[in-house]
């Protein structure tokens, strides 16, 4: 069995999770503050991948990234970047597709923290940045961990969006879910079963890790 699709899936999931941790937590915090109409519109767009069929999202991303359209042509002409049928395109598509899995749990956790925590920190002379990193984030660490694991697991099993954007290029865009599809198409059920079992085992382990972490973590009374 060729393990390259497995490693490519893990690489994609790790990279997507890392980037979403960097950009998702600040976005979630911003969305958890006072609700306004613009914020509701932005949150609606962020949440859309949860309800949209992956093929629909993948199709529109394919159109946007295509060199025949303005965005894709601009990227190609100015940066010599082609996102369609490339690993970079998979990463961007995965960021969009998995964004709500990072945002939703973290936003909910920030929203449940009493305002008095931040106010007490400000009273003690802490800046907003210090309060965010040393007071607020530690109080939602279990939610951040859960969001990261969900994002990783969701990215690991992507199919529709990945197929639309990346196609099926061995070593470049052929991730494990595509390898399973190919094996079934070729009626090679043994290979499909091998890939499926590996993904099943990885997913089970990371979900179990969430339960163990949340059980053993010393939780804040405000979570």
Ordered domains of the chain (ranges, CATH): 4-216 (1.10.3720.10)
Give 76-95 pLDDT, tens digit per residue.
788 887 888 899 999 999 99
DSSP 8-state class, residue 85: T
pTM over 0.85: yes
Count of H-run helices and E-run strands, the chain: 12, 0
**Rounded (10°) angle between helices 4-32 and 87-112:** 40
Q: What is the pLDDT of residue 220?
A: 46
Nearest-angstrom CA–CA distance, 207 and 20: 19
**Rounded (10°) angle between helices 4-32 and 141-156:** 140
CB-based contact 192:184 (threshold 8 Å):
yes
Give 20-79 pLDDT, tens digit per residue.
999 999 999 999 988 889 899 999 999 999 888 888 998 999 888 888 888 888 887 888
Q: What is the mean pLDDT of the chain?
A: 89
């Amino acid at each position: 069995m060729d393990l390259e699709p497995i490693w490519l899936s893990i690489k994609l999931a790790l990279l997507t999770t890392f980037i979403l941790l960097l950009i998702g937590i600040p976005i979630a915090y911003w969305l958890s503050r006072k609700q306004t109409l613009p914020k509701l519109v932005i949150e609606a767009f962020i949440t859309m991948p949860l309800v949209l069929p992956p093929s629909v999202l993948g199709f529109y991303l394919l159109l946007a990234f295509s060199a025949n359209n303005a965005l894709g042509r601009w990227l190609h002409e100015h940066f010599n970047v082609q996102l369609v049928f490339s690993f970079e395109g998979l990463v961007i598509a995965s960021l969009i597709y998995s964004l709500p899995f990072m945002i939703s749990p973290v936003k909910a956790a920030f929203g449940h923290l009493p305002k008095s925590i931040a106010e007490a920190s400000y009273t003690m002379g802490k800046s907003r940045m210090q309060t965010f990193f040393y007071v607020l984030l530690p109080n939602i660490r279990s939610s951040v961990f859960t969001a990261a694991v969900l994002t990783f697991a969701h990215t690991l099993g992507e199919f529709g969006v990945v197929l639309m954007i990346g196609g099926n290029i061995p070593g470049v865009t052929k991730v494990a879910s595509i390898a399973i599809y190919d094996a079934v198409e070729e009626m090679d059920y043994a290979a499909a079963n091998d890939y499926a079992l590996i993904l099943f085992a990885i997913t089970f382990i990371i979900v179990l890790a969430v339960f163990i972490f949340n059980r053993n973590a010393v939780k804040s009374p405000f979570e």
